[in-house]
Amino acid sequence: MARSALPAAPPAEDDSGASLVSFVVDSIVDGVMRGRYVPGQRLIAADLAEDYGVSRAPVREALHMLAGEGVVELVANRGARIRRLSVAELVDFLEFTEAICVLGVRLATSRMGQEEPRAEVIRHYDAVEEAWARRHARDFVVALYQYHIALNRIGGNRFLEFFYERPYIRFYTLLLADLVPGFNWDKYIDNYRLIHATILSGDSHTAVVHFASHIRWVLSNMRRSEAPA
Amino acid sequence: MARSALPAAPPAEDDSGASLVSFVVDSIVDGVMRGRYVPGQRLIAADLAEDYGVSRAPVREALHMLAGEGVVELVANRGARIRRLSVAELVDFLEFTEAICVLGVRLATSRMGQEEPRAEVIRHYDAVEEAWARRHARDFVVALYQYHIALNRIGGNRFLEFFYERPYIRFYTLLLADLVPGFNWDKYIDNYRLIHATILSGDSHTAVVHFASHIRWVLSNMRRSEAPA
DNA sequence: TTCGATGATTTTGTATGCAGGATTTGTGGC
DNA sequence: GCCACAAATCCTGCATACAAAATCATCGAA
C-alpha cells in the first residue's frame, strides 16, 4: 500500500488569535501523522524553532503539551522524542480501545433510528470504502478512525468524543496501521462491512458482539506476529 | 464527611535530577487533589512562579503539560484555569470509565488464582474499608481509585495502567466524590463488598456484571441529581 | 444610578541570554 | 583496530526582558 509524506504547512502568516504554541503543536501532530516525525525520533527545540520560524519558548511549551498528551516523551536533560511503542504496548492499546469503541458502537447503534445520525454514519463509512478501493493503508486507517469518531459523536458521550479525538489516540491508531505487514486486510474490511451493516440495523447487542469479535481477531493476529519480532 | 486541605509541599531544596517543570506539575496536581485549586480557578503564571520559587518559564511549561493532560484549560491570551466539568460531563466520564474499569476487573479477576496478585488486591481493598470506617469521603474515593489502579496493574494491560494513572483521571474521579451530596454511600460500599468478593472468587464474568451493575446504579443516581442542579 | 469610554495595571505570549548537563569529537594507550 | 579518556560542541533548562492583549478602575454623560 502507498504512503504519503508531504512537508508540513508553512509557518503561518497572520493567523492572529491562534497562539504560536498551538501552531507548533498542530504542526508536530501533523508531522507525525504524515510520517515526517517517526517514533523515537529526537525533537530538538532549536531546530523546530527554526523550522517553524518561532523562538524556543513556544516550542518547549508545545513539546510539554504533547508530552501531556502522550505523543512525545520527555527525559530530563535529554529533551524530547516522539513516543515509541512496542508491539506489546500496541496490543494493550488495541485491547484498551476495544473497550472504548464498544461503548461508542453501542451508544451510536441505538440512535440509528434517527435520520441525521444514520446519514452521517453512512457518509463516513463510504469514505472508508473509498479509501479501501484506493488501497491506501494510511487513508484507510484514518477513514476508519473518522468513522469511529462519528460513532462516538453520535453516541452522545462527550467524554468519549473528547477522548477519542486526542492526538495520542490518532497517533497510536496510526502506528497500528504500520504494524503486522502480512496482515489479512481483506478479512479486516469484511469484518467492518458486517459491523457497519449491523450498526445500521440498530441492533446494539449484535453490533457490539461483531465489533468485539473483530478486535479479538485483530489481537490474535498481532499476538501471533509478536513472537518472531 | 471530613475533608483535608493542607498547603502544598515546600519549593524543594536540592532534589537535583527532577526538573522544575515536573516539580510544578506535581505541586499543581497535588494542590488540585487537596482542594487548594478548585475547578474554574484561574492560575496566574507569575503567582505560581512566586509560590513555588521558580521563574515563569517552567510554570508555563507545566501548565501546558497539564493542559495536555486535561487538568487545566488554556484560553488564548487569557491564561490557564483548572478545568471545570459539568455534572453532565461527569456522567459521561463515569460511563466512560465503566468501560475501562470493566476491562481491568475482567483481566485482574482472571489472575486471582495467583498468590501475589490476590494478596495485593486484598491489601488495597482493606485500605478502602479502612477509609470507609473513618468516614473520610476523599480518602475513600482515593482508596477506591488505588484499588482500581491495583486491579489494572494486575490485569497486565500496560496501557490501561498508564491511562488510569493519568492526572486527569485522578482529578475527575475526585470531582465525582464531591458530587451528589445526598448520596447513598452505604449502598455504594455494599456494592463494592460484593464486587470485591466476586473478584476474589475468580469469576470474571460475574465480577464484570456486578461492577457494571454498580456503575449503572451510580449513573442513575447522578442523572437523577442532574435535573434540579 | 447605570452605562460606556478611557487610561492604568495586570497578565500573557514570545524572544533571548546563559549556566550546566549531554553528546560528540579528537587523542592516546593497548 | 579498539577502547578509555578528555576537550569541544551541542542542547536543555531556567531566568529574564519586553510588547501586546486583557482586565480593572476611574470618570463622565445619559
Residue by residue, pLDDT tens for chain A (229 residues) are 333 322 333 333 444 458 999 999 999 999 998 889 999 999 999 999 999 999 999 999 999 999 999 999 999 999 999 999 888 888 899 999 988 999 999 999 999 999 999 999 999 999 999 999 998 888 888 899 999 999 999 999 999 998 898 888 888 888 887 765 566 788 999 999 999 999 999 999 999 999 999 999 988 887 776 654 3
Cell triple for residue A158?
A: 462527550
- For residue B21, the chain A residues in CB contact (below 8 A) are 64
What's the CATH architecture for A87-226?
A: Up-down Bundle (1.20)
Q: Across the interface, do A62 and B60 touch by the CB < 8 Å criterion?
A: no
What's the pLDDT at A17? 59
> In this predicted complex, what is the ipTM?
0.87
Residue B92, class by beta-carbon neighbours within 10 Å (0-12 exposed, 13-18 middle, 19+ buried)? buried
CA–CA separation, A145 and A192 (whole Å): 12
pLDDT score for A148:
96
Q: What local confidence, expressed as pLDDT, does residue A181 receive? A: 57
**Residue to test with chain B: of A28, A64, A85, A170, most B Cβ within 10 A:** A64
* Whole-angstrom distance, CA of residue A7 vs CA of residue A34: 8
Among the partner residues B69, B99, B158, nearest to A99 by beta-carbon distance: B99
Q: Which of A89, A110, A158 is most worth mutating to test chain B (most B CB atoms within 10 A of its CB)?
A: A158
Put simply, whether A56 touches B (Cβ < 8 Å) is no
Q: How far is A197 from A200, CA to CA, in rounded Å? A: 5
Is A89 part of the contact surface with chain B (CB cutoff 8 Å)? yes
Of the candidates A61, A92, A162, the beta carbon closest to that of B64 is on A61
Q: How many CB pairs under 8 A join A and B?
A: 87
- Using a CB-CB cut-off of 8 Å, the residues of chain B touching A104 are none
Residue B212's Cβ-count burial label (10 Å; 0-12, 13-18, 19+) is middle
Question: Per-block average pLDDT, block size 10, for chain B (229 residues)?
Answer: 33 60 96 92 97 97 96 96 90 91 96 96 97 88 93 94 89 79 79 97 96 91 63
Interface residue of A61, A74, A90, A102 to substitute, partner B, most B CBs within 10 Å = A61
Measuring from the CA of residue B63 to each C1', which nucleotide is nearest? Answer: C12
pLDDT at A174: 85
**Domain edges within chain A:** 20-82, 87-226
Contact B96 A157 (CB under 8 A): yes
Measured in angstroms, what separates residue A18's CA from nucleotide D20's C1'? Answer: 14
Residue range A20-82, CATH number: 1.10.10.10
A110 residue type, one letter = S
| Helix %, strand %, coil % of chain B (to 5) | 70, 5, 30
Q: Which residues contact B114 (CB under 8 A, 6 or more apart)?
A: none
By Cβ distance, the residue of B18, B65, B99 closest to A65 is B65
The alpha carbon torsion through A11, A16, A20, A25 (nearest 10 deg) reads -80
Distance CA B140, CA A216 (A): 36
pLDDT for position B200: 97
Sheet containing B72-75: give its strands across: B42-43, B79-82, B72-75
B195 touches chain A (CB under 8 A): no
Q: Which residues of A touch B99 (CB under 8 A)?
A: 99-100, 102-103
**What is the per-residue pLDDT across A92-120, written as a single tens digit (0 to 9) for each?**
999 999 889 999 999 999 999 999 999 99
